Amino acid sequence: MPAISAWRAALAAFTLAACSAPGLAPAASAWPEKPVTLVVPYPPGGPTDIVARVVAQGLGEALGQTVIVDNRSGAGGNIGADMVAKSAPDGYTLLLATTAHAINMSLFKNLGYDTQKSFVPVSLLTKGPLVIVTRPDLPAHSVSELIALAKQRAGQLTFASSGNGQSTHLSAELFNTMAGTRMVHVPYRGSAPALTDVMGGQADLMFDTMLSSMPYVKAGKLQALAITGAQRSPAAPDLPTVAEAGLKNYEATAWNGLMAPAGTPPAVVQKLSASLQQVLGRPDVQQKFAAQGFAADWMTPDDTRRFVSDEVRKWAEVVRASGATVN
């Protein structure tokens, strides 16, 4: 008996020592032990990239590890999303998801990932309206005048977007559906070239982020008609909403969220969520987003999952009604 007791004591001591060893500690409790990569599926310098860099800096400070922004653009945000979906679910590779990742579920016929099944939502990051901007000489100075002109010139007015499946694309398709207009979509690789062509008259208008377009509005190079949110934006309080300006019940918002590969340990997701709540609650972070026309919008993982599910359903209806599709 003494020998057995001594053996059990030795085994318990060994087990305790093993669990306490740095190399054998549970990954979730030790996370993060190295830099974290935040994949942004769009080019540097755009609205999503700017949000990502603010979040990466704050998250790095909260976690005590560097958060590296990795731009993997292409295919309407699908290249970066597919990369993260296939990454190890260890919390070291994260996705900066956008409205497009809800839209793409019904817009693209062959996706290599499923927005709702391939990822575990962590939190929403920002939410904000788009703004309808036109070339300065377009003879429409309000939403009502734009609708009248688009009906008069059915199939002739063109709207630019930052790419197929982006919020800048489907927000205009929603407008077409609700207003009974037939404006023609012209996709670009990002907001910058799209806005350049609107200013140059090669395209008539665009539904774009306030961050990208409002500096040109203030410079007189673009005309702003309305914003797409349910309420007016503090970044442009004089601009009416589309609903106020003549298209009742219209609302479209652009959002950014943080997601991790499916299978990421719940403890890691919760630590990320708590850290983001801290970051998004900081006044300096909120001010940076507000200057871009966004509002910081932390959500629990469960609330984020429900939000994304609602967005997938909403935009599927828009895609169906518009007939838009991308192979």
Query: pLDDT digit string (tens) for 99-139?
Result: 999 999 999 888 899 999 999 999 999 999 999 999 999 99
Write down the pLDDT at residue 88: 98
Write down the pLDDT at residue 147: 98
Q: Which pLDDT tens digit goes with each residue over 159-207?
A: 999 888 889 999 999 999 999 999 999 998 888 899 999 999 999 999 9
pTM assigned to the model: 0.83
Asked if 48 contacts 40 with a C-beta cutoff of 8 angstroms, the reply is: yes
CA of residue 276 relative to chain centroid, distance: 15
- How many other CB atoms sit within 10 Å of the CB of residue 220? 8
pLDDT at 28 over 60: no
**Interatomic CA distance for residues 90 and 222, integer angstroms:** 45
The structural domains of the chain, ordered by start, are: 34-128+254-322 (3.40.190.150), 129-227 (3.40.190.10)
Residue % of the chain over a pLDDT of 90:
73
Mean pLDDT calculated for residue range 20-39: 71
What rounded mean pLDDT belongs to the chain?
90
Task: Return the SS3 of 130.
Answer: strand
pLDDT tier at 327, thresholds 50, 70, 90:
low
Residue % of the chain over a pLDDT of 70:
91
Mean pLDDT calculated for residue range 204-223: 93
**Interatomic CA distance for residues 226 and 222, integer angstroms:** 12
Phi, psi of 228 (to 5 degrees): -95, 0
Among 26-40, 74-88, 129-143, 167-181, name the one with the lowest average pLDDT: 26-40
pLDDT tier at 221, thresholds 50, 70, 90:
very high
Write down the pLDDT at residue 157: 98
